[in-house]
Amino acid sequence: MLPGIAQLHLVMDAIRVSLGRGVRLVGLKRVRFKRVIRPEETIEIAADPVPEKPGMIRFQLMIEGENACSGLMLTGPPEGSDA
């Protein structure tokens, strides 16, 4: 089984690939773990910014079209930056 923290780490890695390595996790909201993810399963990750909430990203992990995990991640600039 893939632990929940590992699932969230996969999402954050995908966000960093898209937005830049300096992006950091600031918070989580409405995270729901819907099913167990087994090591042999292929995970599809979707992550889209929430237009009306800067820094907030809606994410979903799917296995063969089935929702395995979803929620919101609040991201921010790297620690110590002025941005």
Asked if the structure places residue 39 within a domain, the reply is: yes
Q: Judge whether residue 82 has pLDDT over 70.
A: no
- Rounded mean pLDDT of 39-68? 93
Going by pLDDT thresholds of 50, 70 and 90, the confidence category of residue 52 is very high
Provide the domain limits for residue 18.
Answer: 4-76
Q: What is the 8-class DSSP label of residue 14?
A: H
Percent of the chain with pLDDT over 90: 64
Edge-to-edge order in the sheet of strand 66-76: 24-33, 66-76, 56-63, 44-49
Q: For position 37, what pLDDT does the model report?
A: 93
Asked if the structure places residue 82 within a domain, the reply is: no
Total domain count, the chain:
1
Read off the CATH number of the domain in which 14 is found: 3.10.129.10
For residue range 15-48, what is the model confidence (pLDDT) as tens digits?
888 887 788 888 999 999 999 999 899 999 999 9
Largest CA distance in the chain: 42
Q: Is 37 exposed, middle or buried (0-12, 13-18, 19+ CB in 10 A)?
A: buried
Tokens of 10: 């996969």
